Amino acid sequence: MTKETVQPGKFVSISYTIRDQDDNVVEQHDLPIGFVYGSDTELIGGMDEAIVGKAAGEEVEVSLSPQEAFGEYDQELTFMDELENVPPQFRHVGAEVQMQNEAGETKTFFISKIEDGKVTIDGNHPLAGKTLMVQVKVLEVRDAQPGEDRTSGIHIVQAPGSTSIN
């Protein structure tokens, strides 16, 4: 029997680790993540292309430039304000703030620094401007089941016999 390989229409489950240029782990997903390859699910950077033709058990490492990952750092998306102007629930580093422009578009900003009574608010993704190394392990490749190809998004794959909390 020939091993199934990643190709459009196949259900694929992966695990991955993302490291920054200083080899710090910035994201790790050990639980299997499943999706139908070629559906509207997109993996960052060249991860999609890197796993094509791979079989369960194979690993691949991809270097992603800032443009392929989370974009270049844009200084125009960073501004400062007086801490007293910020609602108390957002007065800590890492707080997420939803802001809306005149056109009604919403964007997530993060509190990135609090110093000398001032707060720095940043609209860049925390990994913007960074080159990332992504190590992907293909855990499963099989024919998609009826309906899986119409399911959007990435899903946590449960172990047989486990239950889900909804």
Q: What is the pTM of this model?
A: 0.71
pLDDT band at 164, cuts 50/70/90? very low
Nearest to 5 by CA among 137, 141, 148: 141
pLDDT band at 38, cuts 50/70/90? confident
Report DSSP letters for 58-91, one per residue: -EEEEEE-TTTTT----GGGEEEEEGGGS-GGG-
- Spatial contact of 140 and 7, defined as CB atoms under 8 Å apart: no
Report DSSP letters for 8-57, one per residue: TTEEEEEEEEEE-TT--EEEEEEEEEEEETTSS---STTHHHHHTT-BTT
| For range 16-31, the mean pLDDT | 94
Rg of the Cα trace of the chain? 20
What are the tens digits of pLDDT across the range 93-146?
999 989 888 899 999 999 999 999 999 999 998 889 999 999 999 999 999 888
